[in-house]
Amino acid sequence: MKQIYTKTGDEGMTSLRDGVRVPKDDPRIEANGQIDQLNAHLGVVRSMLDEMQDVASLQLIHAVQRELMVVMSHIATPEGSVNPRELHAYEIAAQLEQAIDNADYQGGFVVPGGGSQLAAFIHLARTQARTVERRLWSLNREHPVDNDILVMMNRLSDYLFVLANEKE
């Protein structure tokens, strides 16, 4: 069995892509931790969606999850290094916009948890998407973040709001 622990982080440091060492509270590491948490929330949502009733949402959320992994690799790429993984954030943002436009959203605010358990979990993912967006904007002040990533994160939280309302 391959050993999972390396002990290289025991002193509060971790590695970016290409082996550059940074403190574990570096803004890039914090942003990636928040993205990782969002991806886990989306995994819960995806596991609860009925694949017979909502194939489109399942596929879109899965595409978002895959793109979040690429985004994390880009966030962890030091300035001056090239990341070989191609971003598709622009395309994902467009898909999210289309899903929002196709939704039967009537407007208004809701109190999370007042409907289904699925809707409550979607709201939890939505709030985490907003946290990720804030962390990325903070990171952008120090380490430029691709604008398509920032747009995708904004559309994702809007999409999750609409999806939660559909599932109430």
**Domains in the chain, CATH or no CATH each:** 15-167 (1.20.1200.10)
Mean of the per-residue pLDDT values for the chain?
92
Instruction: Report pTM.
Output: 0.91
Alpha helices in the chain (DSSP H): 27-48, 55-75, 89-102, 117-142, 147-167
Whole-number pLDDT of residue 116 = 87
Three-class SS state of 40:
helix
Instruction: Write out pLDDT tens, residues 106-165.
Output: 777 777 777 789 999 999 999 999 999 999 999 999 999 999 999 999 999 999 999 998
Whether 79 shows a pLDDT value over 80: the answer reads yes
Token readout for 21 is: 């060492």
- pLDDT category at 35 given cuts 50, 70, 90 is very high
Higher pLDDT, 54 or 90: 90
Confidence tier at 18 by pLDDT (50, 70, 90): confident
The pLDDT of residue 38: 98
